[in-house]
Amino acid sequence: MRYDIPKPLRQVSMVLDLNKCLGCQTCTIACKKLWNTDEGTDYSYWNSVETLPGRGFPAGVHDPATGGRTVEGGVRRGVVPNLDTAYGRAWTFNHEEARASAGAPDKIWIRPRETVKWGPNFDEDQGQGDYPKDNHYFYLPRLCNHCTHPACVDACPRAAIAKRREDGIVLVDQDRCHGYRFCVEACPYKKVYYDHVRQVSTKCIFCLPRIEEGVAPACARQCPGRLRFVGYRDDEQGPIWKLVEKWKVAIPLHPEYGLGPNVFYVPPMSPPKLDAEGRPTGEPRIPVSYLESLFGAAVHPALEALLAERARRRRGEASELMDLLIAYDWQQNFRLPPRQREVLG
C-alpha cells in the first residue's frame, strides 16, 4: 500500500555552486548549533560537507548498496549506517589526563578515548590523482533534498513523515515516530538521523521558522562562499528557476534514484591535467565520468554551458549566468517572500 503524497502548493529549493565551496564547514556548524545539540544527535549533521572523490558522510553514502533505491528507481533494502564505522561517534577526549601530565616528564597527548573508525569529512582533502599531474578534489555540501518523491515518507509504516503543503518541506512528526528507522534505511542520501537517546528520527527542517519569515536557512545565510541560492522553484524571477530551468546548470545529486531532489548543484569545473612535460592538456582534472556518477548525464550540458558563459565573460561580453553565480549582491541569492511574520510584543 503506497502512500499518496499530495503535490505541495509551492516547493522551496536550494542551489549550491560547487565551484565556490571552500570546505570551511561554517554551514555545518551554523546548522548544528541551531538545531542539533541534543545528546542523541551528537553524531549527526543535517548539513555535512564532504571531500570528493571520497567515501562521504556517512561512509559509503555514494555506494548504491547503502540506499533503499535501485539505480533504476525501484525499492531495495537499504542500510542503517553504523555509528562507529559509517557516521563516526562523537568522540570524548582525555582532557583531564592530558592536563594532569602538563608538568610531568612524560606528557600525555590529547586523544579520543574511543577507537576512531570514521567521522564527518574524515578523508578531508585527500581526493585522487597524482601531484602535480592530475591531483584533484572538491567539496560537496549536503542536506536533505526535500524530495518530490521522498523515500523516507514512503518508508514510514506510521505515516510519521510528511511533505508540507505550503512549501514541500519534508518533516518528521516526532510524536508519531516510534524510532523504527526504515526512513534512515530507505533514504539513499542518508539524511534522516536517529536520535539514539530520544529514540526518534530527526532530519533537516529547511529552517522552516526562518523560511516562514522570509529568511534563508542558516547554512545558506552564513556561507562565506556565497554559493547557496534559496527560493521557490516556480518563481521565474528568482535564482532557482534561472539556474535550474533556464540555464540548466544546476542539477540534482543522484537523479538515478528517482526521488526528484529539490536541492541542486552547479557541478565543479576544474583546471586541466598536465602532461609529462607539465603542459596543460585541456582535459579537466576531475574526470567528467566521475561527475556523471554523481549527477547523471545532465552534467555534460551543464558543464558546457558553464564553460561557454565563462568564456563569454572573459571576452568582455555580458553573461546573466556568470553575474548570477558570482553573486555580486549576495542578498540576491535569496528570494523568499515572508509568508508570515511573528511580531513579539
Residues at the interface with another protein (CB under 8 A): 1-3, 43, 68, 74-78, 80-83, 87, 89, 151, 153-159, 178, 180-182, 184-186, 193-194, 196-197, 199
Residues in contact with ligand SF4, shown as a per-residue x/- string from 42 to 61 under the rule CB under 6 A: -------x------------
| Number of chain positions touching ligand SF4 (CB under 6 A) | 28
User: Among ligand SF4, another protein, none, what does residue 184 contact (CB within 5–8 Å per kind)?
Assistant: another protein
Is residue 19 within the footprint of ligand SF4 (CB under 6 A)? no
Q: Are residues 189 and 254 in contact, defined by beta-carbon separation less than 8 angstroms?
A: yes
If you write DSSP's letter for every residue of 102-135 in order, what string do you get?
TTSSSPPPP-BSSPP---TTTTTTT-BS-TTTT-
For another protein, the closer of residues 122 and 180 by Cβ is: 180
User: Among ligand SF4, another protein, none, what does residue 78 contact (CB within 5–8 Å per kind)?
Assistant: another protein
Sites for ligand SF4 among residues 193-212 (CB under 6 A): 203
For another protein, the closer of residues 155 and 303 by Cβ is: 155
Q: Are residues 141 and 16 in contact, defined by beta-carbon separation less than 8 angstroms?
A: yes
Is residue 144 within the footprint of ligand SF4 (CB under 6 A)? yes
Q: Cell numbers at residue 319, please? A: 553573461
* CA–CA distance, 168 with 170 (Å, rounded to integer): 6
* CA–CA distance, 288 with 267 (Å, rounded to integer): 10
Instruction: For residue 54, give the amino acid letter.
Output: G
What is the smallest separation between the CB atom of 206 and ligand SF4, expressed in angstroms?
A: 10
For ligand SF4, the closer of residues 55 and 191 by Cβ is: 191
Sites for ligand SF4 among residues 243-272 (CB under 6 A): 259
* CA–CA distance, 108 with 128 (Å, rounded to integer): 35
Task: Please report which helix (H) or strand (E) contains residue 170, including its range.
Answer: strand 170-172
Q: Are residues 87 and 191 in contact, defined by beta-carbon separation less than 8 angstroms?
A: no
Scanning the structure block, which residue is given the C-alpha cell 541569492? 333
What is the smallest separation between the CB atom of 223 and ligand SF4, expressed in angstroms?
A: 3
Q: Are residues 48 and 142 in contact, defined by beta-carbon separation less than 8 angstroms?
A: yes
Scanning the structure block, which residue is given the C-alpha cell 508570515? 340
What is the smallest separation between the CB atom of 270 and another protein, expressed in angstroms?
A: 35
For ligand SF4, the closer of residues 139 and 264 by Cβ is: 139
Is residue 152 within the footprint of ligand SF4 (CB under 6 A)? yes
User: Among ligand SF4, another protein, none, what does residue 23 contact (CB within 5–8 Å per kind)?
Assistant: ligand SF4
Q: Which of 144, 121, 124, 113 is nearest to 46 (CA)?
A: 144
Is residue 191 within the footprint of ligand SF4 (CB under 6 A)? yes
Is residue 26 within the footprint of ligand SF4 (CB under 6 A)? yes
User: Among another protein, ligand SF4, none, what does residue 22 contact (CB within 5–8 Å per kind)?
Assistant: ligand SF4
Q: Are residues 203 and 46 in contact, defined by beta-carbon separation less than 8 angstroms?
A: yes
Q: At what angle do helices 288-295 and 299-314 cross, to 10 degrees?
A: 120
Task: Give the footprint of ligand SF4 on this chain (CB under 6 A).
Answer: 21-27, 49, 139, 141, 144-147, 150-152, 170, 187, 189, 191-192, 203, 223-225, 227, 259
